[in-house]
Amino acid sequence: MFVDEVDILVEAGTGGAGACSFRREKFVPRGGPDGGDGGNGGSVYAVASPHRNTLIAYRFNREFRAKRGGHGEGSNRTGKSSPDLELEVPVGTLVYEKTADPANDPILIGDLVEAGQRLLLAKGGHGGRGNARFVSSVNRAPRRVEEGTPGETRQLQLHLKLLADVGLVGFPNAGKSTLISRISAAKPKIADYPFTTLVPNLGVVSLSGDRSFVVADVPGLIEGAHEGHGLGDRFLKHLDRTKLLVHLVDVSGATGRDPIEDFEAIRRELSLFSPELGRKPQLVVATKMDTSPDLKMLGRLEAHVTSQGLPFQRISAVAGTGLDELQESMWKYLSDAPPDSALAPLQAVEHDA
């Protein structure tokens, strides 16, 4: 199951108390104070793990508490500090803290974008000082000790937004999963019925010369997705962080629909979901070219797409034609795109397929 939003409670450990103790030795009648400090409570961290791809681990188990620090002991023994508790989350997890007033939006406290990245969620309390620390010239036998300070407690929301460079969009059955399975090691289910893909899949595309990028295959969209039709637009947020959308249009004629209308319907759904997504650069790809599509219709689709300033390519994922060119075009766009301007307009490119 793919879970991309959860609420959790994290509680760090309280610090251990300092000890009140006096040395007792055989021939030392009045030994000095030797109460050790308390140990620190454990903190709670989130750690981005490349081995996780959903937040499902947090669906049922929602409360995470690090252990408290050990109390100090006599003979100046410091209490044991507790280990930190690490919660593994998928790369692409955003952590929000809920505000006391539910009317206010939760506040973003961190975004885990790289494997291994750690984010402090709740800081453990400090151990209190033992009485040995309070010796002074006027008080040689202090009885004073400190309690440990409490660990932090926070109500958090984890949101997963996949990190991919390229997102595949299109109607169900357009061939998105077939394409990702041909250009990456991803092995999503492929079948001749709509809504085969129920959750997003990621695939890494590797090109010659150490070039690589990540592609996301998301469940197909249909007209009215923003109103909940089909699987709705619930997975579209996973395209927010992509730099390029590859928009697949089935031109086999088997759909019984007009490819130009399909193309426009998907564009509308993207814009209705969010204007930013609607403006994201798109590379439009006619799929299933091996089915000898109607060339007139193909010409109309190409003219329609290029008149909007968008590039147009043709592929057959089954026959493997056009795939090298498509991957090179994706790479070219990604490597030309300025690092943080995912919304730069995309120039139409010439092709001779």
Ligand X SMILES: Nc1nc2c(ncn2[C@@H]2O[C@H](COP(=O)(O)OP(=O)(O)OP(=O)(O)O)[C@@H](O)[C@H]2O)c(=O)[nH]1
Please give the residue ranges that form the binding site for Mg ion (CB under 5 A). Answer: 177, 196-197
CA 116 to CA 91: how far, in whole Å? 9
Q: Give Cα 203 to chain centroid, integer Å.
A: 15
DSSP 15-29: PPPPP--B--BTTBT
Contact partner, 318, from ligand X, Mg ion, none, Cβ < 5-8 Å per class = ligand X
Of Mg ion, ligand X, none, which one does residue 192 interact with (CB within 5 to 8 Å by kind)? ligand X
The rounded distance, in Å, linking the Cα atoms of 149 and 155 is 19
The set of residues, in sequence order, having a beta carbon less than 8 Å from that of 307 and lying 6+ positions away, is none
Report in angstroms how near the CB of residue 249 gets to ligand X at its nearest.
11
How many angstroms separate the CA atoms of 214 and 230, rounded?
26
Q: Which of 70/220 has CB closer to ligand X?
A: 220
State which residue, 160 or 248, has the beta carbon closest to Mg ion: 248
Provide CB contacts within 8 A for 21, sequence distance 6+: 33, 34, 35, 36, 73, 74, 75, 130, 131, 132
Nearer to ligand X by C-beta: 287 or 327? 287
70 binds, among Mg ion, ligand X, none (CB under 5 to 8 A by kind): none
**At closest approach, how far in Å is the CB of 346 from ligand X?**
22
Q: Which residues bind ligand X (CB under 6 A)?
A: 170, 172-178, 190-192, 194-197, 219-220, 287-288, 290-291, 316-318
Q: Which does 178 bind (CB under 5 to 8 A by kind): ligand X, Mg ion, none?
A: ligand X
| Least gap, CB of 180 to ligand X (angstroms) | 8
Q: How far is the CB of 317 from ligand X (least distance, A)?
A: 4
Q: How far is the CB of 251 from Mg ion (least distance, A)?
A: 18
User: 288 touches which of ligand X, Mg ion, none (CB within 5 to 8 A by kind)?
Assistant: ligand X
Distances (CA, A) of 101 to 11, 95, 221: 20, 18, 36
For Mg ion, the closer of residues 13 and 188 by Cβ is 188
Of 69, 60, 210, the C-alpha closest to 127 is 69
